Amino acid sequence: MKPHPYLRAYMAGIVIPTAFLLVILTGFTLARYACDIPTPIERVIVFPMAVVPNVWGAWNMLWVLLRRRRALPLGAHGAVLPLLLAPTGYAVARAVDFAIPAPVVAAAPFALPAALALYYLVWKHLVGFFNELLGIS
């Protein structure tokens, strides 16, 4: 058995959100500075850039810890994560007085089930792939 399974689980967990955030940040940067769209994203960008990848890594570590006691599938474990991230992200946005656009608020009841399904698939296939690649699945 390879040493440090929790470190490997953390690394496997942070790959997907870190790569995705690079794409999102590039889009926001282009929108803000190339297209002159006034988006005050710098007030809330710290949450997704710093917190989300770390939470994904810790969540994957938790799955490694819990799989010895319970046989919860990785996809189902990952699908629970938006239920923690969404309220936390909303609280951060409110704390820094970031105005959430009305269409985003109106779409929230539909976006949450979509996020649960998306997280299930990402955790089952992508995080599962990295877990297997690092020998922790």
Q: Which residues contact 42 (CB under 8 A, 6 or more apart)?
A: none
> Angle between the 102-121 and 82-95 helix axes, to the nearest 10 degrees?
150
Query: Which pLDDT tens digit goes with each residue over 20-57?
Result: 988 888 888 888 788 877 766 776 677 778 889 999 99
The residue assigned the tokens 């938006």 is 82
The pTM is what?
0.85
Closest residue by Cα to residue 75 from 131, 21, 22: 131
Query: Which pLDDT tens digit goes with each residue over 43-52?
Result: 667 777 888 9
- Tell me the average pLDDT across 104-119: 91
C-beta neighbour count of 118 within 10 angstroms: 14
Q: How far apart are alpha carbons 73 and 124 in whole angstroms? A: 8
Q: Which residue blocks in the chain are alpha helix, DSSP H? A: 5-29, 46, 52-66, 74-79, 82-95, 102-121, 128-133
Tell me, what's the pLDDT at 38?
A: 74
Mean of all residue pLDDT scores within the chain: 87
